[in-house]
Structure 1
Amino acid sequence: MMGRISRFSTDREGFLCSISQPSIFNMPDTVLEIFGQPPLNIYTQICLCYSMDKARRSEIVHILQSGLVRLTESFPWIAGQVVRDDTSGLFKITTLGKTPRLVVKDVTDTALPMEQLKNVQFPFRMMHETDLAPRSTIPGLFSESEHNPVFLLQATYIDGGLLLTFLGHHQAIDGTGLAQIVSLLSKACNGEPFTEEEKIMGNMERDNIVPLFSEIERLRYGDLYEKLKHQIVPKYTPTTSENPPSCSWRYFIFSGDSLSKLKQLASQNLTTGIPFVSTDDSLTAFVWQAVSRARLQRLEKNTKTTIGRAINVRPCLGIRNTYPGMITNMAYSNNTLSELVDAPLGHVASNLRSKLDSEELKQNTRALATLINDNLGTPITSPTATMDMSSDIALSSWAQQNFYALDFGLGLGLPESVRRPEFTPVESLMYFLPKTKKGDVALAICLREEDMEALRKDGEMMKYATFIE
């Protein structure tokens, strides 16, 4: 079945929007899984950058719209919206449009050409969400509509290039889920059939996918409020400064060779009981130490520092990675700044690895789900509930996601780069972006200006990384 663009209209200056026809069917409502119930309403964005010539533009839109039609035929919920049920108070996916919305924008006359973007390695400062995305990451800044769609995308044309930005509603789709949905769209655009597993996992009932504790399991685990207090928002939060620090987003690129060296270095000093550490563990440990060294210029040595890593807990719960919903928990490690920066890299990486015990993650995740379920009327949890972002770190790794392998049948080859569009600065928020075909990983990092300046002057950091201005 071939899709078509129903009509075009100008949305904001510079926008040419393809707007799907109103829905002609009513899909069944889908109640979100327990981790989608705390109200968040933010969007995860990822941008894939392709080289192309101007002659392909109309063909590109047709291929993408046709792919969206095929995707929605097999996964109707992907064209829905996230709403709160008036009766139950639960968040659910309900009907919105015939397909996810595709927004088209031409910034050829105002944006840097693709060749120059490549030369400067696609920095944050030249790839802002206001240009590349139809709505903001943080709610309330800008949006293409008053609805909260599950999934949408924007095709942005620049001189010599196409920038494809995909957005997923974070209550319905986590980072792993977004990678799965975008992969399915690439298959659809290529005319490839979906596997039975993809269709089954993609359309599973969500509300009971994470089993809550029984009464006996509650007793065995212990007091939920005590054991999970680090994820419970304090009733009385400290007064924030009237003059928050000026923060910015930047990239540091770690080559495949640097990553191999860091893993080798970390593997030389593993602690007892830890047989191995991954490249992700090693890089996380290295970044945590480097940022902490930078912060010692303004913080006392005995200052506590915590790192929270977003963890895909599907494997721990027996859920396949092809499930596209919201199945994420956090793993926390802490230390003092002085002890952290003085420790061998392998000791820090070992500590991070020790927090990834599958059975422990399973129990902690089910405990958190139970706690959230107990407080649906008045949500009390947050991944960064008790974190101090002036000294702590919240990190999410997308390094293993396959975005660099996706071509969407556009005839443009594979992406030249995969980036997170620049959005509102959030101090100490960090991402490892998808690994390139060469094995390079970009660290997307947001720090206050004095910390960023100290980090880019840190000799050990710059021994392994390249700073992107």
Structure 2
Amino acid sequence: MGSILKASKELVTPSTPLIPGYSPLTPLDQYMVRVILPVLCVFEIKDSSLSLKKTILNNLKQGLSRTIDDMPAIAAYVVTDSEVQESIRLKYDNDAGVWFHTKDVSHVDYDSLKRRSFPFTALPVEDFVPEPRGHSSKAPVLTAQAAFIQGGLVLTFNGHHAAMDAQGLGTFVQVWARHVAAVSQGRVVASEHRLGLDSLDGSSIYAPVMRRPWAEFPTFWQSNDRTYEAAQKEVMDAAMSGNFSKLATLLRLTNWIIDEDKLHQLRQQASPQSKSESAVTDNAALSALIWMHLSRARGLVKRHVGTSSLFTAINCRRRMNPPLAPNYPGNCIVLARATATSTELEASESQSLHGIAQLVADSLDWWAPDEIWSLTGAIQAHPNVRNALVPPMDYDVVVTSPSRLADSLSAATWGEELGGITAIRFAFPAWIDGFAVVLPSVQGGFEITLWTSPDTANRLLADEGWCRWVRQLE
């Protein structure tokens, strides 16, 4: 057994103190869901000596200090701006910095985790996700924690979704890892490899204030099906407050993988059946598959639910005019919405998979640059921007594929002492029943993480049609 470190927390500050005060958040930050996004990164460490642990912590903290120099917003708090509109802004305290937690979780063993493919159940929130875990009137943009396990390290960072999306977290990871590696090697990152001011520029997100009706955007169309709306609101409230105990009674997390050969078969199944039809992407086909099988597991036809919608989170950095930098660290997300009848969703895949996938693809295409620009103007005129991204939800599904975050995490190297990440897990609180995260798998294919009601999860586990495509991970 390796040496044990005493649990502690330290405020990591930038090399040059930040000026106290306030700074604005963009319209796409204002309307974002106000939840905390914890990301867990697992490293293997074969040397468990106390001296190595102290070196790793020193590298992480010094690297984090230099990261704040490049990305000052991570040292701020999200606070209320207008109580009437429930808008928010960033506040920099006199001693602005990032709280860094350290602890030993020696009862968890790296080799055991690896044999079990790093299951979520073996990485409990209480041990591996630092406080705070929910939004409040003064919530930090970022907190971090290094938890040493037997033979490894679990590095967690909590990003506030009102200040950064998953792609923005990817930028943070790239910058932090680069600085940690430099500290490990006794050098500094060259200026040409540091995050430039152009990457922080979100000015193209601001359109003039527009009083365009919210209902003109497909995302916010009102559905006639509202029977599950109260239950979905309960999930949202628990997610915002970071009440993981409450969420555990409402949702069950299941983790799946679709292998390369099955993905190839899905691609064939979703191919056009006539010259007049268009080809669809793997993401659209996979989203359609998830949507259809969740609808069947929910029994929408039996419940007399007329329609269901699939909401797809779009990273619209490249769709802005002018485009934002790919590594822009703030929020730049819109929700595309596809709607189908319950009968269509529960039809056989051979008949309807391509058509449902085409609905998904078309919903993404609607969001042209001028529509996004118009939305940013409409957000500024909205009477209440708190969680305005999310319309009233019923038996709907949300799919997000933060591939850049996964790529950033997988590609990052953290110096000789840590090396590369061996596993990535997301512990963020799903804010609806029917939430799906799709990411490339290190095994090939895609991993699919689903948050659904326990009853839906049980029916999905028994769905032979679903299990024909995917296999469950622990």
TM-score of the aligned structures, taking structure 2 as reference length: 0.81
Q: How many angstroms apart in 1 are the aligned matches of 2:206 and 2:44?
A: 46
Query: Which string of whole-angstrom CA distances, capped at 9 and with x for unpartnered residues, describes residues 217-262 of structure 1?
Result: x7xxxx523313753899xx87836999842112112223333332
Q: How many angstroms apart in 1 are the aligned matches of 2:129 and 2:378?
A: 35
Q: How many angstroms apart in 2 are the aligned matches of 1:89 and 1:457?
A: 44
In structure 2, stretches of 5+ residues that fail to align are: 183-188, 236-248
Query: Which string of whole-angstrom CA distances, capped at 9 and with x for unpartnered residues, describes residues 395-440 of structure 1?
Result: 211234311112222533322211112647741122113x234434
Query: Which residue number in structure 2 is paired with residue 430 of structure 1?
Result: 436
Query: Which residue number in structure 2 is paired with residue 106 of structure 1?
Result: 104
Query: Which residue number in structure 1 is paired with residue 264 of structure 2?
Result: 260
Alignment of 1:321-332 (within 5 A): 321-332=326-337
Q: How many angstroms apart in 2 are the aligned matches of 1:382 and 1:107?
A: 39
CA contact (8 A) 2:270 2:280 kept: yes
Matched position secondary structure for 2:354: helix
Query: Which residue number in structure 2 is paired with residue 16 of structure 1?
Result: 8
Question: Which is further off, 70-79 or 310-319?
Answer: 70-79
Alignment of 1:170-189 (within 5 A): 170-189=161-180
Query: Which residue number in structure 2 is paired with residue 210 of structure 1?
Result: 205
Matched position secondary structure for 2:190: coil
Which of 29, 40, 45 is residue 36 of structure 1 equivalent to? Answer: 29
The offset of 1:297, in angstroms, is: 7.5
- Call closer, same or farther: CA 1:194–1:169 in 2, change over 3 Å: farther
- Call closer, same or farther: CA 1:413–1:51 in 2, change over 3 Å: same
The offset of 1:57, in angstroms, is: 1.3
Q: How many angstroms apart in 2 are the aligned matches of 1:67 and 1:214?
A: 40
- Call closer, same or farther: CA 1:201–1:84 in 2, change over 3 Å: farther
Question: Which is further off, 239-248 or 444-453?
Answer: 239-248
Confirm whether residue 92 of structure 1 aligns to residue 81 of structure 2: no
Aligned length in residues: 434
Query: Which residue number in structure 1 is paired with residue 469 of structure 2?
Result: 464
Query: Which residue number in structure 1 is paired with residue 389 of structure 2?
Result: 383
Confirm whether residue 354 of structure 1 aligns to residue 362 of structure 2: yes
Query: Which residue number in structure 2 is paired with residue 365 of structure 1?
Result: 372
In structure 1, stretches of 5+ residues that fail to align are: 1-9, 141-145
CA contact (8 A) 1:309 1:395 kept: yes
The amino acid that maps onto 2:335 is M
The offset of 1:154, in angstroms, is: 1.1
CA contact (8 A) 1:125 1:422 kept: no
Question: Which is further off, 171-180 or 243-252?
Answer: 243-252
Q: How many angstroms apart in 2 are the aligned matches of 1:106 and 1:460?
A: 43
CA contact (8 A) 1:270 1:350 kept: no
The offset of 1:171, in angstroms, is: 1.0
- Call closer, same or farther: CA 1:32–1:297 in 2, change over 3 Å: closer
CA contact (8 A) 1:63 1:410 kept: no
CA contact (8 A) 1:155 1:163 kept: yes
The offset of 1:74, in angstroms, is: 2.4
Query: Which residue number in structure 2 is paired with residue 48 of structure 1?
Result: 41
The amino acid that maps onto 1:49 is V
Query: Which residue number in structure 1 is paired with residue 245 of structure 2?
Result: none
Query: Which residue number in structure 2 is paired with residue 4 of structure 1?
Result: none
Q: How many angstroms apart in 1 are the aligned matches of 2:280 and 2:172?
A: 29
CA contact (8 A) 2:436 2:449 kept: yes
Query: Which residue number in structure 1 is paired with residue 283 of structure 2?
Result: 280
The offset of 1:302, in angstroms, is: 5.5
Query: Which residue number in structure 2 is paired with residue 404 of structure 1?
Result: 410
What fraction of aligned residue pairs are identical, expressed as a percent?
21
Which of 417, 420, 431 is residue 414 of structure 1 equivalent to? Answer: 420
Query: Which string of whole-angstrom CA distances, capped at 9 and with x for unpartnered residues, describes residues 381-404 of structure 1?
Result: 63331320xx21112112343111
Q: How many angstroms apart in 1 are the aligned matches of 2:172 and 2:204?
A: 19
The offset of 1:63, in angstroms, is: 0.9
The amino acid that maps onto 1:463 is R
CA contact (8 A) 1:101 1:152 kept: yes
Query: Which residue number in structure 2 is paired with residue 7 of structure 1?
Result: none
Q: How many angstroms apart in 1 are the aligned matches of 2:132 and 2:435?
A: 17
Matched position secondary structure for 1:153: strand
Which of 134, 142, 152 is residue 151 of structure 1 equivalent to? Answer: 142
Query: Which string of whole-angstrom CA distances, capped at 9 and with x for unpartnered residues, describes residues 120-168 of structure 1?
Result: 222222223222111254336xxxxx84222221111111121111221
CA contact (8 A) 2:430 2:451 kept: no
The amino acid that maps onto 1:387 is M
The offset of 1:27, in angstroms, is: 5.7
Q: How many angstroms apart in 1 are the aligned matches of 2:274 and 2:376?
A: 33
Q: How many angstroms apart in 2 are the aligned matches of 1:302 and 1:379?
A: 29
The amino acid that maps onto 1:249 is L
CA contact (8 A) 2:314 2:335 kept: yes
Matched position secondary structure for 2:356: helix
